[in-house]
Structure 1
Amino acid sequence: MRERLTTAFIAITLLLLVGAGLIRSHASDSAVRAHEAADVAATAEAMGAVISDAVAAGGVLDRELLRPFLTPRSRIVIKREDSTRVVLTGADFDPGAPADQLASAVILGDGEEVELTNVHDQTLEGVWGDRFEVLAVFGLLAILAGVTGYLVARSLSAPFRQLAVAAAALGRGRFDLDLPRGGVPEARAIALALASSATQMRERMEREREFGQHASHVLRTPLTSLRFRLEEIIEDPTLSGEARDATIGCLRAVGRLDQVAGELVELGGRGVLLAGAALPLRDLATQVAQRWADVLDLDHRSLSAAVEGDIELRFTPGPVEQVLDLLLEDVLQHDTGAVRLVFEGAASRLQIDVSCVDANGTRRAPARAAEERIQVVLDSLGGRLERPADGSALRLHLPRR
């Protein structure tokens, strides 16, 4: 976008320069011709007055009398009464361009006529000037137009580049979008649409999580009560053998039903949020680790990562990136030492251990982590945060989606 806008600025500037030059050339040509015509008429009148005075004083109308009025681009023609002609031609006079000739004639008292013709001076139309100078000016203006166009294009395209990053983040399952708040109306409209989509997706995920929790409560609570009741019946000493066997069968069926209900609830949370954006755990861990390794390297700190469990299991990267960004930003600002990430994938969840490594090689949980903010995000995602008793790491639990 920036390249096209910059090229457009240069092209428009050059076209405007050429158009202005052509208009100026046409106007200048008309003005020059008008001045030349007036000058020829004035010269012809002055020449007629001089000739009349010279003839009245006894002079002869010949070449020598008219030669002072001859210029390199003019021609003087004397037409006598006997139809003879005397012609004086300047060195640069071009008789082959009638359209560029400006003529004026005077009639003398004795019937003779003197005609003065000048050829239009093309050099007076040189609005473009020297070719080298024109090219230099055009080049300079093209550079200025390019710089201006680049700055304007950069300003105009910045919101759209930010929107592209936000759209990619939303496609990866992130809802904390960095959207432009100003810029052109079109960019604001797209930003509002992306914000609305992120809100709808987050609300949908929260509803599905709440539904799973509610379904688990509704299904498993009565089954638990029924199992306790059946266990009480089995312990009744007065119960007959056949009734005891039937009760035991019912208890087993309730156990199987409780297991199926748990599997169904768990299965509802296993699906990834955005199937097209899901990545294998090994790729997700590599991307996150590499990005933050580059950031920590600027602070002269290192980051290492390990992947355990099912490394081919696919997870939506957005939620993982969002939580780790919050945590690692805080670690970068308020903690020291190298950083260690351990990813462990399971069928329905992802566990991430984050620890800092001191100079002596001791691993410990980050001393200060943005736990409140992280917990808010984890709650919305259906995850949780914990600190193991040994204090060696800060443990994040995220659902698969």
Structure 2
Amino acid sequence: MRKRIVAVSLLAAVLAITLFGVPLAVGVARYYLDDERAELERLADSVALTIAATLVRGEVPDHLPVTQESTSVALYRVDGTRQLGNGPPDLEDAVSGAAPDAVISADTPSELVLAVAVGDGSRVLGIVRAATPRAEVWQRTVVTWTGMTVLGVVAIVTTWAIARRQARRLAAPLEELTDAAHRLGSGDFTVRAARSGIDEIDSVGNSLDTTAHRLTDLLARERAFSADASHQLRTPLAGLRLQLESALDTPGADLRDSITAGLATTDRLERTIDDLLALARNSQPDGGIGPLGPLLAELEHDWHGLLAEQGRALRVDVRSDVAGFVVAAPVLRQIVTVLLDNALRHGRGAVSVAVRDAGNAVAVDVSDEGPGIEMDADPFRPRAEPTPSANGHGIGLALARRLAEAEGGRLRLAQPAPPTFTLLLPTRHA
């Protein structure tokens, strides 16, 4: 690209200099030629005026005025023979028979010639011939052309220097963009394009940065989904395993009922995966909204057996005035699932789920009878930064808080002992 910019710039400069310089060079040559002829005419007129009175008296001038070394002046008789001065012995045919006071141009291949007829108004008394070598004119012309050529070369060299600098300024950001694009294609989503101060190139850089940012966000979502899914599927899988082991340990049990229960659990696993995928990609899953009462009844059915295995009770209290409130079903399911799993693993005693009206939102309180959480502990801190909390921590609660905030709600620890988590979730229109 740099070579192209330099080549195009040089071509444009050469073309401009040629289009301007050639006519100017021709004009300079013509100007010097016309100027020399005008000078010869002035010289011939001056000599004619000087000797006119002498010729009118019928006398021959003693001498002609002194002229430049390169210019020759001669006086000729009417018959064309030289009488005085420097010049050819005979006049050119074009000059012979000139009228009084006539000015005649009679150039030869080697000289510029101008002749002036000297007379008394009615007859020609003599002819003054002035001549200068053409080489004199060409010398002036060549000197000027040489100067113009030098200036043209200087202009081309200057154009080349400026073009190289501009090529470097234009190509360097594009080369950096190319490198950034290669790195982005290789999986380095942290790459960012440097700013060059050129609007068009910076616009491309901004687009590349936006693409890198979106790919980074997408990758983060997919990685979060992998971690979240493994966490959220652990408890339903444990329930499915418990159902199957119970069927195997019970002689003569009706396997059809066990298989039916297992299929229902599998359906819930599939729905959990769909919910997590949709939430990870910021899309609305199927069955995106639903009434609060049936959703909590479903969760009570799923979790009753798991808590009963540990000899613990699950109490779900949904007041009739809030049971029909419509909320984001996947968000509610996943957050309450996290809270129940947290109570199952880190809490003690009975687990309570209470729902109340909070204006344009519903408040869901999940609590157990455990010893509680230390005052300086943060139960929402990710697993990579564990705390000595008695009531658990890690990816589950961190995920639940992210889901609540993404829906425009909030999840907080209402009280540390007995541990009570409160979810505020906006209601939807059916």
What is the TM-score of this pair, normalised by structure 1?
0.49
RCO higher in structure (CA 8 A, sep ≥6):
1
Higher helix proportion: 1
